[in-house]
Structure 1
């Protein structure tokens, strides 16, 4: 039964009313929750976890599970309800966490940033190898998240005013050659391509390992110019590690990497890159049901880079602003942001200036996909409005057509097929929805993305609930069950 891994010391006969309340509202059975905990534990490398219904019953009765169970339960309930459900909200205790690897309110200084990235990436790698997660990370939200990020805007002191003995910049010649620096930068671009094509579950540890190597270089004496390029490389790798962690469901890890990436981007003096990192944090907050936080973060990104970001980057930020407004139920502001995204995107590349690799993903397909999802989200917020679903349909169809011609961005193709399926459900067209969802299932089989699996599962659950008597929906439900079972066995 795995008692040593899945449970702890009982706290007496007092039941855990908080956990029981969330559990009842989830609609899960004890067996389903146990299966989800086991599946997530395997994904995280905690192979010693083996939970069953009797263990779940003991948690509800007041037993305090050991790490990493509290963290896993927090993530599962957060995803179920589309909002951050903290460990404490579940009536569970958290393990003591070192200040150096927990929280988001970190010092904005080069040496500390290097040390924190080095420690966190090393911990991530070592804990995964040892088969358990160790100390839990908690998600930050609201002012606890937004206020520390606002310090990104505070100008950094000039090098001569920074602390003495700074290891990352000196007047000596760089120990790294230009070809070596270029190879580091091209490796980051290669990892980004793999992520888009195969999902975050395939190369995440390789990205974390590369990030750790870059922090080793930053702890050596480098020229100011080389240190900036290395910080930029660290920022891109940390953002990508965060993005891949987000994609496979490691939400606290993702947020930590995003925060560290923003610190590294500040040291690199790269405001457009910082705005991109903030947009990734904004997207995560939308996923977690916190659109107010998402809007704050995207406005911070826009304010910090309005004079230096390319038109493509600005269009991406407007599209994220529209997503936040949609999820807040503000249609007029959402539609205005959609128009701004479209108008600004039309100027992308007009000046002939080369753009960084990290923004090249934001193509016409991605623009249409984001805007269509904004309209789709509005439809749900407005009580499954067919009006907004009709607005979403042609834009989503354009995104699906464009992604269907793209061999690289397979995860985006799957997500937009799922989005199109949900639009047809909103329009009460289950047969068309089933066709698209089955197509999404085929594409999803080629990527390792918890995000894709979760969205498929939720879409099919809605379809089965509302149109369970439609033959295509019944076939779809059976196909999904088979594919997800095979995927779980392969983990």
Structure 2
């Protein structure tokens, strides 16, 4: 459950609000070298760690020592006053420094979601969202600071919706997604608003009634259409949700054409893109996984198996919820292809990962796949 040094370096950089492009000249290493260190492709040398510590103004020890258990971090977060609460008590005008603190905390919470289930993380995110909404509602600030705070509210609302959905609280998740759209609209952040709408579409496609699935496809398409200024990576995320909604609605042609569009758009990325941090997890492996899921949904499980096996061969084992979900999708592919022994083995692996995280979503996937197996 401990972070690697590379992951700790990345977390510290993101918490400071520093992009990899900006970090490279500060640390006097190439952007590619730093990327390789952060992703574990190269070892983190003492010189790199020292460069991060100096550039970010943090003690070297904090970057070298393993980070604490994420569940303990979440509980400490709940019992400690946030800077938003401290600032509101002081009665002072809110400045850029607090906006930066809030942005850093949003990033930390988002990355905690990689390691915690929704039932553990939901109350933490809810508290942070309420504190930030109070600052926006009750404090004085400049237009520029106000926009940054509203964007943080929108991002927190998206994360609150995501973890509530993971915890099985679908109505609460819908409430968060829709309120977040309002904050994103006030901030003039169209891509963020589109992400909130497509997140809601994704939930509707997964757990809604047949009529909801049709609405999910419409909503996902609307998000793509309204995402003015979105980078190719953001467009990739939005289009993936269109493809999934189309598959759930049994619109085979739309689903497959959209998957091809996903591939094309993702290849349009360039080094100068200013991607929002909330799309950090989008990768070629995530695209392959979504293609596999769509293929299973459309009755082509044998085509999905090699895609999932390839992704799982290098997927990080400490991402317990995602690992459980990915193995459950492989188990479903095997089951629907009639390969029952492989399905049971994959399901056992999925259950092992699910036992290590408090995620009703992962647990419900196990129930679904078990229902496909005789006996």
1:422 matched to 2:336? The reply is no
Partner of 1:462: 372
The equivalent position to 1:204 in structure 2, one of 102, 108, 122, is: 122
Partner of 2:107: 189
- Give the C-alpha shift of residue 427 in structure 1: 0.8
Query: Structure 1: which 5+ runs fail to align?
Result: 1-173, 380-387, 469-491
Q: Distance in 2 between matches of 1:318 and 1:397?
A: 23
Q: Distance in 2 between matches of 1:288 and 1:405?
A: 27
Q: Distance in 2 between matches of 1:278 and 1:240?
A: 13
Greater gyration radius: 1
1:179 matched to 2:97? The reply is yes
Report the TM-score, using the length of structure 1 for normalisation. Answer: 0.55
Contact residue 95 and residue 141 of structure 2 kept, 8 A: no
- Give the C-alpha shift of residue 378 in structure 1: 1.0
Partner of 1:297: 219
Secondary structure, in 3 states, of the residue corresponding to 2:118? coil
Partner of 2:240: 319
The equivalent position to 1:367 in structure 2, one of 279, 284, 287, is: 287
Number of residue pairs matched by the alignment: 280
Contact residue 242 and residue 257 of structure 1 kept, 8 A: yes
1:258 matched to 2:189? The reply is no
Q: Distance in 1 between matches of 2:184 and 2:157?
A: 10
Please list, as runs of the form range in 1=range in 2, the aligned pairs for 1:82-101 lying within 5 A after superposition: none
Secondary structure, in 3 states, of the residue corresponding to 2:113? helix
Partner of 1:229: 148
- Give the C-alpha shift of residue 391 in structure 1: 2.1
1:396 matched to 2:303? The reply is no
1:378 matched to 2:298? The reply is yes
Once the two structures are superposed, residues 445-468 of structure 1 have per-residue CA deviations (whole angstroms, 9 ceiling, x without a partner) of 2211111000101211221xx3x2
Contact residue 151 and residue 184 of structure 2 kept, 8 A: yes
Contact residue 211 and residue 237 of structure 1 kept, 8 A: yes
Once the two structures are superposed, residues 38-78 of structure 1 have per-residue CA deviations (whole angstroms, 9 ceiling, x without a partner) of xxxxxxxxxxxxxxxxxxxxxxxxxxxxxxxxxxxxxxxxx
Report the TM-score, using the length of structure 2 for normalisation. Answer: 0.72
Query: Structure 2: which 5+ runs fail to align?
Result: 1-91
More helix by share: 2
- Give the C-alpha shift of residue 291 in structure 1: 2.1
Partner of 1:243: 162
Q: Distance in 2 between matches of 1:399 and 1:183?
A: 35
Partner of 2:202: 283
- Give the C-alpha shift of residue 250 in structure 1: 0.6
- Give the C-alpha shift of residue 406 in structure 1: 6.0
The equivalent position to 2:189 in structure 1, one of 270, 279, 282, is: 270
Contact residue 198 and residue 241 of structure 2 kept, 8 A: yes
Contact residue 96 and residue 145 of structure 2 kept, 8 A: no
Once the two structures are superposed, residues 98-129 of structure 1 have per-residue CA deviations (whole angstroms, 9 ceiling, x without a partner) of xxxxxxxxxxxxxxxxxxxxxxxxxxxxxxxx
Please list, as runs of the form range in 1=range in 2, the aligned pairs for 1:87-166 lying within 5 A after superposition: none
Contact residue 195 and residue 202 of structure 1 kept, 8 A: no
